[in-house]
């Protein structure tokens, strides 16, 4: 088996690059012209995906796949199919993503360094499809196979799936394990994900004070990293927690901040849901006039969404 394709030293925009490029971006002189072409197509695909041009990204990854198949390079085939799957998954197309990643499985035996990445991707696709049992099985395989700097990310996914399955004790243990690994490795985005899952577990098991502490820690990290979507998720989690504790004032504050951040980031659908939440809280507090004003604002936002479609 040709070994020019390996697990990359870093993930760029959630896509794999060909490890022949290496951490320093240098290409070994021993690569054939076909191998160089496959590398170029993957790199161009990554750039297109980063710009949001999914169609052109898929064209480039498909060309890399075609070349890798022509030279029977198993690792190259896996990399291209992984990238195709990730494009489809991030676009919300679980069926297309599953087709792509399923094609990678026969080319990724357990001893291959890329096996953990394949298992991780299958788990995420299964999660997107709502198949939690298979998602947890594949996530467990990814964790078992991975000993790299991405291990904390993979344990985070397993913890999240366990939480969604209702296995709170296991989810908490895995999230704590991931938190320690991510902190030690300095992977701050994944550290925030660990904290967010721990917050969810604490909230679900009626440990509100602890939940708030974890959510606030995640929020501070996400603000430093400038991750608007994650900031909104943190704020909404804090709002839901405040609601569960019958603190309508705090809930309104957090929903209001989530609304402002969502609208500024162009997420009008999410912003409209925040308005709905705030409207319901004001209605419960007896402020019908303000509740109706918020619903009117929501209606205007929904009209804008329809206009843009």
For residue 89, the surrounding DSSP H or E stretch is helix 74-90
Dihedral sign, Cα of residue 166, residue 170, residue 172, residue 175: negative
Is residue 201's pLDDT more than 60? yes
Residue 81: CATH number of its domain:
1.25.40.10
Task: Flag whether 89 is in a domain.
Answer: yes
Neighbours of 169 (CB within 10 A): 10
The residue from 90, 108, 126 where one domain ends is: 108
Q: What is the pLDDT of residues 57-109, one digit of tens each?
A: 999 999 999 999 999 999 999 999 999 999 999 999 999 999 999 999 999 99
Q: What is the pLDDT of residues 139-177, one digit of tens each?
A: 999 999 998 889 999 999 999 999 999 999 999 999 999
Tokens found for residue 115: 């096996």
Task: Flag whether 298 is in a domain.
Answer: yes
Task: Flag whether 239 is in a domain.
Answer: no
Task: Flag whether 303 is in a domain.
Answer: yes
Q: Are 101 and 122 in contact (CB under 8 A)?
A: yes
Q: Are 44 and 55 in contact (CB under 8 A)?
A: no
Task: Flag whether 238 is in a domain.
Answer: no
Determine the pLDDT at residue 5: 27
Burial of 302 (C-beta count, 10 Å sphere; 0-12/13-18/19+): middle
Q: Are 154 and 118 in contact (CB under 8 A)?
A: no
Q: Are 195 and 217 in contact (CB under 8 A)?
A: yes
Determine the pLDDT at residue 16: 57
**Phi, psi (degrees; rounded to nearest 5) at 12:** -110, 115
In terms of residue numbers, what domain contains 47?
A: 1-108
Determine the pLDDT at residue 307: 74
- Angstrom distance (rounded) from CA 75 to CA 19: 10
Confidence band for 132, pLDDT divided at 50, 70 and 90? very high
Look at the chain and report how many structural domains it folds into.
Answer: 2
Q: What is the pLDDT of residues 292-306, one digit of tens each?
A: 999 999 999 998 787
Tokens found for residue 232: 């909104």
104-130 average pLDDT score: 96
Is residue 35's pLDDT more than 50? yes
Query: Could you tell me which residues are beta bridge partners of residue 15?
Result: 12
For residue 29, give the 3-state DSSP assignment. coil
pTM for this prediction: 0.87
Task: Flag whether 220 is in a domain.
Answer: no
Task: Flag whether 115 is in a domain.
Answer: no
Determine the pLDDT at residue 1: 33
The residue from 45, 77, 108 where one domain ends is: 108
Task: Flag whether 208 is in a domain.
Answer: no
Q: What is the pLDDT of residues 203-215, one digit of tens each?
A: 999 999 999 999 9
Q: Are 295 and 275 in contact (CB under 8 A)?
A: yes
The average confidence (pLDDT) of the chain is 90
The residue from 74, 108, 142 where one domain ends is: 108
């Amino acid at each position: 088996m040709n070994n020019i394709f390996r697990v990359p030293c870093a993930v760029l925009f959630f896509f794999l690059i060909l490890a022949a490029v290496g951490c320093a971006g240098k290409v070994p002189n021993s690569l054939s012209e076909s191998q160089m072409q496959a590398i170029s197509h993957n790199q161009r695909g990554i750039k297109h995906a980063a710009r949001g041009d999914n169609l052109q990204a898929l064209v480039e990854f498909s060309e890399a796949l075609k070349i890798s198949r022509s030279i029977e390079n198993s690792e190259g085939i896996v990399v291209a199919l992984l990238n195709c799957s990730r494009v489809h998954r991030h676009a919300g197309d679980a069926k297309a993503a599953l087709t792509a990643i399923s094609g990678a499985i026969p080319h990724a035996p357990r001893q291959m360094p890329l096996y953990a990445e394949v298992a991780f991707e299958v788990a995420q696709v299964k999660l997107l499809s709502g198949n939690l049992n298979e998602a947890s099985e594949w996530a467990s395989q990814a964790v078992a196979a991975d000993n790299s700097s991405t291990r904390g990310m993979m344990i985070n996914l397993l913890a999240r799936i366990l939480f969604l399955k209702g296995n709170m004790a296991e989810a908490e243990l895995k999230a704590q394990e991931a938190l320690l690994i991510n902190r030690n490795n300095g992977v701050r985005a994944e550290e925030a994900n660990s904290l967010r899952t721990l917050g969810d577990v604490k909230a679900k098991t009626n440990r509100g004070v602890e939940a708030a502490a974890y959510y606030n820690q995640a929020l501070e990290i996400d603000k430093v990293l400038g991750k608007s979507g994650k900031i909104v998720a943190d704020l909404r989690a804090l709002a839901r927690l405040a609601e569960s504790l019958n603190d309508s004032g705090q809930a309104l504050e957090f929903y209001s901040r989530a609304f402002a951040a969502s609208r500024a980031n162009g997420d009008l659908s999410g912003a409209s849901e925040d308005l709905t939440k705030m409207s319901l809280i004001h209605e419960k507090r007896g402020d019908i006039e303000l509740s109706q004003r918020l619903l009117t604002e929501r209606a205007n936002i929904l009209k804008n969404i329809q206009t843009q479609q």
